[in-house]
Amino acid sequence: MKAARWHDQRDVRIEDVPECAPKPGEVKLKVHYCGICGTDLHEYLEGPMFIAKEPHPLTGYGAPVIIGHEFAGEIIALGEGVTGWSVGDRVALEGYHICHECYYCQRHEYNRCERLAFHGFSAPGGLAETVCAPAYQLYPLDPRVSWEAAPLVEPTAVAVRAVNHVKPLLGERALVVGAGPIGLAALQVLRAAGINRIAVVEPARKRREMALEFGATIALDPRRDDVEREIRNFTNQLGADIAFECGGNDAAYQTAVRNTRKGARICLVSQTNTPFRLFVNEIGFNERVLIGTVAYCGEFAPAIQLIAEGKVRAGDMITARISLDHLVDVGYRELMENTDQHVKIIASPWM
């Protein structure tokens, strides 16, 4: 079958590899589309970050790695012992392989599993024609969610967890720094949670326009706008009550800190190799709270529901559809060189 495999930094190849056969407790899926994530670009340009160079202790899987973790699929085969699922079922995958034994798994905090493995990094991913996965990862995909929108379930689940961590209160003003797919999903999840006054800071014009379309009150360009003055005016000179750093760089973090009020909650959503400068007094003296978050732990169900109900407009976030053959020369290149024109690019092995 055709698959995209990460071999090393700046070395992703479209190759013919053997198809998997589902082991006991697994299903085999036909992948229709898989999204290109910002983390995929980090792995391509700077990796390995999460990719297992050596065989992972839980999965035994290491480079070269079939990449891709934003995907859904149609069940085409069942492994021994799988019940509750049928061939033809449409499913989304919460892409963790977990040990089920450690302190965190026992507490159902499995996104903190001590031997956590993840599709596209330390287990085969979805940038392929088919993939095998444990049945415990599966969520039924609402029929109102199209195959094209289905890859957006994963980033929406990230946003749901981030928003839930912050515990927004009605009437609060929010700041979202970085309006890529995660930031735009966070904006829409905030709106669904009843937060209606939201400022977005994003340099890419297309993403600012989309933020306004999705309900942002203001969308600022940090290269041209006086962000601090505009946020002060937006927040009665106080600063935002809650903020989400979704940019993955120090400038985004500093923007989040400097434009929040005393006592604000700031969620660090991005995953990056880039170090941030932390000035302790900006946090401690002002009693700001920094909140870390990673991926999801049960948020797939509400993410699917939000997309199905149109509260997260997943399909509208897609700016290009490409064949798997053009993952690097079109998909990666466009996201690196023409960010101003793109939000989410999805790839299909069947185009």
Amino acid at 196: N
Amino acid at 212: L
The reported pTM is 0.95
Burial 3-36 (b: 16+ CB within 10 A, else e): bbbbeeeeebebeeeeebebeeebbbbebbbbbb
**How confident is the prediction along the chain (351 residues), in pLDDT tens digits per residue?**
999 999 999 999 999 999 999 999 999 999 999 999 988 988 999 889 899 999 999 999 999 999 999 999 999 999 999 999 999 999 999 989 999 999 999 999 999 999 999 999 999 999 999 999 999 999 999 999 999 999 999 999 999 999 999 999 999 999 999 999 999 999 999 999 999 999 999 999 999 999 999 999 999 999 999 999 999 999 999 999 999 999 989 999 999 999 999 999 999 999 877 789 989 989 999 999 999 999 999 999 999 999 999 999 999 999 999 999 999 999 999 999 988 889 999 999 998
- Which among 225, 229, 222, 226 is positioned nearest to 203, based on CA atoms? 222
The DSSP H or E segment spanning 32 is strand 26-35
E-strand stretches of 60-196 = 65-66, 70-78, 90-93, 96-97, 117-118, 130-134, 138-140, 173-177
Q: Which domains does the chain have, with CATH numbers?
A: 2-149+314-348 (3.90.180.10), 155-292 (3.40.50.720)
